[in-house]
Amino acid sequence: MAKALTKSQIAAELAEKNEISKKQAVGVLDTLATLAYRNAKNTFTVPGLGKLVLQNRPAREMVMQFGPNKGKTITVPAKRVVKFRVAKAAKDAILKAK
């Protein structure tokens, strides 16, 4: 199984394909990440890949499966979580490539 690409490998590929410097490509990646962090509360879409959305997770009861509290029921409080929903086009492109 192939290893995941590093940030510098992604930047190098972007720089080569778009005929820009590697430093500019790193800047684009950093700007995209910062933009996503700032706008995730309103859902942030990365065209062709998917979108970041906030979701409210309700409080729930669970039984501890390990540790000193094994078998005890605890309450997990409600919280907000960030999810990434993959776009249909991305799913089709990845899964049909097999």
Residue pLDDT, tens place only, 47-64: 999 999 999 999 999 999
Provide the CATH number for the domain around residue 59: 4.10.520.10
φ, ψ of residue 45 to 5 degrees: the values are -100, 130
Number of domains in the chain: 2
* Residue 67 near residue 90 (C-beta atoms within 8 A): no
Mean pLDDT (the chain) is 93
Is residue 39's pLDDT more than 70? yes
Residue range 10-37: mean pLDDT, rounded: 95
In terms of domains, do 49 and 83 share one?
yes
In terms of domains, do 94 and 48 share one?
yes
In terms of domains, do 52 and 95 share one?
yes
Is residue 98's pLDDT more than 60? no
| Alpha carbon distance 87, 72 (integer Å) | 40
Is residue 95's pLDDT more than 80? yes
Task: Tell me the pTM.
Answer: 0.75
In terms of domains, do 57 and 98 share one?
yes
